[in-house]
């Protein structure tokens, strides 16, 4: 007989093993991470339904912070409660923290970042296949009518017009409730259910002496207000650490962002790199804690609200719009990735084979990532 305590321990172990694996193997950025989560927790493990996953994805797009990390935290909470919430996020973040700290140590010793072209060459085509698979699976649920098609299309177009992704998401999402006839004014009430925090701008000042407390609270602020891509993160980091504090040079900042982009796990692990080169191991830990801590708080607050939103007719329409618009933004990222991923016949072949293995034989995405990595490594050594 399995006791409640044993069941809880089993679920916590499942959460830990899954997300620590993703922490070491989830390359490709948030869209790829979310696609890998979908394949594992919806398609394979059946932890939640397609609709639940879509609702979580829509919710993460409406709160500040790294989307894929927040998805991991949501999924951990649904699978194993409050302990699962903490464990999933920590398991996903910690491997990236270790890897980035190692690269930061190399950087401080040798003065440059390792070359990663051979890693991306083999992995990026695999990422295309993984994201495409998730888009198809989620699209079958999210695309319910003409209004949801319009929401996704509008989000896609606005993204390529360089409209802020959050504004594009909200504008496109409103199409679904607005399309209802007859339209009632109160249908708009409560639609924007998460406060969008204003960006706390950096004030110009003379360079300041390094301080661990300032480091922590600067990253805590960034984690509390940052929406958008790595380019938005770059702007925040530049404003604080180059202009205001004077702790980094332009080149160091670019190298930090590059490390965060090509290592597995959350892109926000850029904070770990900056923390290490400015404050050593304590700096790496405090910077990582500062930038990710708000995500745990936002998810803890928002997760209980999601079922209520789905059960209300008015907010459910908006959530449908958010889900469709989120897929539109995801498709935009996929199209951008494809432009760089398919550079020659070999990379096209990797993409096609990955898609066949994933769609036809349901090969685990982790094995596909490892295979792409090995092919990329071999191609790099032979050139």
What is the chain's pLDDT, residue by residue, as a tens digit (383 residues)? 445 666 888 999 999 999 999 999 888 778 889 988 999 999 999 999 999 999 898 888 778 888 889 999 999 999 999 999 999 999 999 999 999 999 889 888 876 555 556 766 888 888 788 878 878 887 888 888 899 999 999 999 998 888 867 678 788 889 988 887 554 444 434 433 333 333 333 444 567 788 999 999 999 988 887 765 555 577 678 878 988 889 988 878 877 876 776 788 888 888 999 999 999 999 999 999 999 999 999 999 988 888 887 777 777 888 788 888 888 887 887 887 788 789 899 999 999 999 999 888 888 777 888 898 889 888 888 87
pLDDT value of residue 124 = 80
| CB 278, CB 253: distance < 8 Å | no
Residue carrying the six token digits 């360079």: 207
**Considering just the CA atoms, what is the radius of gyration of the chain in Å?**
21
In eight-state DSSP terms, residue 28 is S
Backbone angles phi, psi at 142, to 5 degrees: -75, -35
pLDDT for 259 equals 78
d(CA 78, CA 74): 6
Selection from 45, 130, 70, 133 nearest residue 366 by Cα: 130
Please tell me the distance from the alpha carbon of residue 153 to that of residue 160, in angstroms, as a whole number.
11
Q: Quote the pLDDT of residue 32.
A: 83
DSSP string, 52-100: HHHHHHHHHHTSSS-HHHHHHHHHHHHHHHHHHHHHHHHHHHHHHHHHH
For residues 276 and 218, give the distance between their C-alpha atoms in angstroms, rounded to a whole number. Answer: 15
Question: Within 13 Å, how many C-alpha atoms sit on residue 272's CB side?
Answer: 26
pLDDT at residue 185 in the model: 43
Q: Residue 19 contacts by C-beta under 8 Å, 6 or more apart in sequence?
A: 72, 76, 87, 88, 89, 91, 92
* pLDDT computed for residue 204 by the predictor: 44
Q: How many CB atoms lie within 10 A of CB 195?
A: 9
CB 130 within 8 A of CB 358: yes
**SS3 (DSSP) at 189:** coil
Task: Say what the pLDDT of residue 332 is.
Answer: 85
Residues 6+ apart with CB under 8 A from 52: 78
pTM for the full model? 0.71
Minimal CA–CA distance to 337: which of 33, 131, 54, 66? 131
Residue 3 is predicted with a pLDDT of: 56
Please enumerate in sequence order all residues whose Cβ is within 8 A of that of 36, keeping only pairs 6 or more positions apart, or say none: 22, 26, 130, 134, 365, 366
- Distance separating alpha carbons of residues 23 and 265, to the nearest angstrom: 5
């Amino acid at each position: 007989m399995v006791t409640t305590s044993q069941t809880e321990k089993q679920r916590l172990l499942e959460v830990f093993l899954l997300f620590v694996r993703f922490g070491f193997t989830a390359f490709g950025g948030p869209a790829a991470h979310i696609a890998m989560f979908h394949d594992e927790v919806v398609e394979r493990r059946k932890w939640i339904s397609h609709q639940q996953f879509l609702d979580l994805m829509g919710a993460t797009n409406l709160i500040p912070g790294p989307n894929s990390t927040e998805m991991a935290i949501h999924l951990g909470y649904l699978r194993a409660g409050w302990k699962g919430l903490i464990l999933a996020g920590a398991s996903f973040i910690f491997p990236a923290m270790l890897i980035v700290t190692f690269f930061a140590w190399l950087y401080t010793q040798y003065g440059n970042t390792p070359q990663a072209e051979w890693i991306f060459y083999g992995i990026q085509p695999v990422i295309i296949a993984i994201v495409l698979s998730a888009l198809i699976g989620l699209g079958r649920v999210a695309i319910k009518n003409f209004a949801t098609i319009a929401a996704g299309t509008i989000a896609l177009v606005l993204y390529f017009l360089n409209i802020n992704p959050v504004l594009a998401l909200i504008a496109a999402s409103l199409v679904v409730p607005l399309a209802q006839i007859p339209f009632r004014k109160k249908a708009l009430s409560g639609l924007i259910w998460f406060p969008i925090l204003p960006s706390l701008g950096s004030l110009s000042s003379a360079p300041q002496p390094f301080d661990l407390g300032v480091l922590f609270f600067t990253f805590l602020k960034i984690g509390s207000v940052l929406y958008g891509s790595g380019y938005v993160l770059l702007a925040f980091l530049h404003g604080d650490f180059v202009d205001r504090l004077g702790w980094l040079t332009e080149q160091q900042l670019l190298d930090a962002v590059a490390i965060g982009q090509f290592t597995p796990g959350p892109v926000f692990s850029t904070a770990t790199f900056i923390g290490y080169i400015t404050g050593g191991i304590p700096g790496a830990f405090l910077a990582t804690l500062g930038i990710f801590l708000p995500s745990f708080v936002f998810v803890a607050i928002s997760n209980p609200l999601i079922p209520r939103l789905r059960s209300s007719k008015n907010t459910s329409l908006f959530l449908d719009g958010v889900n469709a618009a989120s897929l539109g933004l995801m498709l935009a990222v996929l199209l951008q990735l494809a432009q760089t991923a398919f550079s020659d016949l070999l990379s096209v072949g990797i993409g096609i084979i990955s898609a066949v293995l994933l769609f036809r034989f349901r090969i685990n995405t982790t094995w596909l990532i490892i295979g792409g990595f090995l092919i990329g490594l071999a191609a790099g050594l032979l050139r």
